[in-house]
Structure 1
Amino acid sequence: MLRLPPALTASVLFALLLLAALSSIMLGAMPLPALESLLTVIDAATGSAFSNLQSYQQAVVTELRLPRILLALAVGAILAQSGAVMQGLFRNPLADPGIIGVSSGAAVGAVIAIVWLPASISAWSVPVAAFISGLGATLLVYGLSQTRSGTSVLVLLLAGVALSAFAGAAIGFVSYFASDENLRALSLWQMGSLAGSDTHKILLASATFALLAYAFQKRAGALNALLLGEADARHLGINVERLKLELIVLTAVGVGVAVACSGIIGFVGLVVPHIVRMTTGPSHKTLLPLTALCGALLLLVADLFSRLAVQPAELPVGLVTALMGAPFFLFMLIQQRRRWNT
């Protein structure tokens, strides 16, 4: 496949991201003019009064569409970067944050908070419960995979599969005792949605992305060394076991926050890093920031499609990413099979 310079790829992705964001502000059940929509965003940011839109139209932009865009950018970037890190850590392009039980563990905490914790306790109850549960599940899986010779990747993967199965049973158990209202909220949340975007979630997801982007980029060189194999990475002076623990915990933090803010959105962390890797190469120093841009773009486009496909209703964005990602995943499996047969 043709390799593109990272700077060119970043410029193209950034331009597409701006176009997708403008389209998301304009389009929907109530179409709005592009310039006036953009002026409304400027007014909201600066306190000016350039826009000529009616007050209810401005409310659609600032209270409904703009928060969704901001949350989609942060969550998409988190999921995509977490996927790139997991694929680099396990040296497998088919790896995903879900393989170590992060998503499933976070989902259990969020479901328990939705059903059994009153919303009046705190706006942070669901994110905190998802984060604690996801981190706990990750540390449990990591602890089970420890051997005298280090971390067993096979045991790590098997423990992640077992934990995912247990999490599915736990979610089913909690759902069985949920009220009809909670069941509706749970079903929508499990399919992934950005409709509940608010200031708390945007701040939490944005701060998490900023911290993870810095932490992951700082370890990009070590991840590149790990691609050569654990033995070679150790010879280069890298503490492989410490690196694994740090990356797994950081991924758990990111995915836990993403699940708490938007529900379960699959395939972003699997598909996006593979696309970027095929375009610009495997070096994590460029792969990680480009993956963040591409992940934000993919989730923003998926959310726009979910709002336009069945107007005035909307599809859960997790269904859209699954419809986009599943065929690509099958394509990747076919490609991998061809390599094994050659």
Structure 2
Amino acid sequence: MKLQQESPEVVVALARRRRRGRLAVVGTAAVLGAVVLLSIGTGPVGVPPGTVARILAAHLLPGEHEATWTAAQDQIVWSFRLPRVLMAVLVGASLAVVGALLQAIVRNPLADPYVLGASSGAALGAVGALALGASVPGLLVSGSAFGGAAVAGVIVYVLASRGGRIESLRLVLAGVALSYLFSAATGWITATADHGRLPGLLFFLLGSISSATWEMLTLPAIALVLGLAYALRRASHLDAAMTGDETAASLGVDMTRLRVEVLVVTAAMTGAVVAVAGGIGFVGMVVPHVCRLLVGASHRVLLPFATVAGALLVVLVDTVARTAASPREIPLGVVTALVGAPFFLWLLRTRPVGAER
């Protein structure tokens, strides 16, 4: 759907920006591939990148492969580290897509799953299930996370609705208030939980993918594919939403319907992430905003770039989290804040905010 007719000069400028955006996506994807190989080989038992590549080729490509690696290296790479790195890719990509969607419909670069209550709702559901004795991973935890995110979405929708329309400011205010409420309930459960479960609950709240397995990849992978497909299909509508409700309506975009759809999609994606990785903040806010500064606001370019950039960030952060204080592991959410916040502040200091337009 083409929302407006641009002048030839604007068309040329947009084409150049999209070309630069595609190059940025390809370049970042290449960097991600290299970082994935390095991350898989990094740990208490180091595995050279060449050996990692040969092990992966032996498992993924048909034909005979001469084994120049040990059985222990094969198990470390294929059974332990690869699922964890792939989980980092899925979590980072999902949070970036969620952040981009929410920032578009509320026209606020601070919007992310936490601001609109989805993460807090999912965390409350998952922590409640864990306190009752559920295991991670488990259907009860996943279902509870989905349910918590869905309940948060419904409540935010009801509170933000006025006269049959969803207002952006009310949406943010309702989400923030609900996030505080759910966080308080989560804190209550954590404070009153059995002492034996307390370390696991706290680690889950701060984010971790240390228990990632091949089976756990299915849920976030499906959520990411479906969510990204929806976002790309609605890219022109998201562009219009960034111009304001009145302008978007004049271009034929039903903003109330768009916001409802985005709330449903982001709640599902957030629930999937929280169910397998716990609460990981900052990624959904910073990555889309930084990507918008670098490649512009067109969502056909922004969404793929943010997806790859989010995956790259979380893979790097997880590598630091599991190696910086070895043999202990730092919660993932702690490292995302320590790494992301200074970079974001530096970028705001050195780049004008208007550069994203």
Bin for the TM-score computed over the shorter chain:
over 0.9
User: Which of 106, 110, 115 is the aligned partner of 1:94?
Assistant: 110
The answer to whether residue 76 in structure 2 is matched with residue 26 in structure 1 is: no
Deviation at 1:43, TM superposition (A): 2.3
Deviation of residue 155 (structure 1)? 2.2
* Unpaired runs of at least 5, structure 2: 1-16
**Stretches of structure 1 lacking an aligned partner (at least 5 in a row):** none
Could you tell me how far 1:45 is from its partner in structure 2?
Answer: 2.6
Residue in structure 1 matched with residue 98 of structure 2 by the alignment: 82
Matched to 2:202, the amino acid is S
Q: Which stretch of the first structure deviates more once superposed, 43-52 or 207-216?
A: 43-52
Decide whether the 8 Å contact of 2:134 with 2:141 is kept in 1. Answer: no
Residue 130 of structure 1 contacts residue 257 of structure 1 at CA under 8 Å; is this kept in 2? yes
* Rounded Cα–Cα distance in structure 1 between residues aligned with 2:31 and 2:329: 23
Query: Hey, what does 2:78 align to over in structure 1?
Result: 62
Alignment partners' CA distance in 1, 2:69 and 2:220: 30
| Corresponding position: 1:267 with 2:287 | no
Structure 2 counterpart of 1:228, which letter?
Answer: T
Q: Compared with structure 1, are the counterparts of its residues 338 and 41 closer, same or farther at alpha carbon in structure 2 (3 Å cutoff)?
A: closer
Q: What's the CA shift for 1:331?
A: 4.9
The equivalent position to 1:15 in structure 2, one of 30, 39, 53, is 30
Say which of 265, 269, 273 aligns to 1:250: 265
Alignment counterpart, residue 286 of structure 1, candidates 291, 294, 301: 301
Corresponding residue for 1:106? Answer: 122
What is the rounded CA distance, in whole Å, between the counterparts of 2:353 and 2:248 in structure 1? 29
CA change 1:59–1:250 in 2 (3 A) is: same
CA RMSD of aligned residues (A): 2.2
Moved over 6 A (4+): 332-339
2:158 equivalent in structure 1: 143
Gap change, CA 1:123 and 1:271, over 3 Å in 2: same
Q: Aligned partners of 1:290 and 1:274: how far apart in 2?
A: 11
Query: Which stretch of structure 1 is more off in the superposition, 296-305 or 111-120?
Result: 111-120
What corresponds to 1:224 in structure 2?
Answer: 239
Aligned counterpart, 1:156: 171
Contact preservation (8 Å) 2:190, 2:202: no
Aligned residues: 337
Amino acid at match of 1:104: S
Letter in 1 for 2:200: A
Give me the whole-angstrom Cα distance separating, in 2, the residues matched to 1:242 and 1:123.
Answer: 33
Distance 1:237 1:34 in 2: 51
Normalized against structure 1, the TM-score is what?
A: 0.92
**In structure 2, distance between residues paired with 1:335 and 1:7:** 24
Contact 2:122 2:271 in 1 (8 A): yes
Q: Does residue 1:196 correspond to 2:216, yes or no?
A: no
User: Structure 2 CA distance, aligned partners of 1:102 and 1:332?
Assistant: 27
Question: Cα 1:164–1:60, aligned 2, differ >3 Å: closer, same or farther?
Answer: same
**In structure 1, distance between residues paired with 2:134 and 2:332:** 26
| Contact 1:37 1:51 survives alignment (8 Å) | no
Question: d(CA) in 1 for partners of 2:54 and 2:183?
Answer: 46
Q: Assess if the C-alpha contact under 8 Å between 1:36 and 1:51 holds in 2.
A: no
Deviation digits for residues 5-41 of structure 1 (CA, Å, limit 9, x no counterpart): 0121012101110111010111111111222222212
User: How much has 1:59 moved relative to structure 2?
Assistant: 1.1
Q: 1:46 to 1:332 in 2, by over 3 A?
A: closer
**Which 10-residue stretch deviates more, 45-54 or 4-13?**
45-54
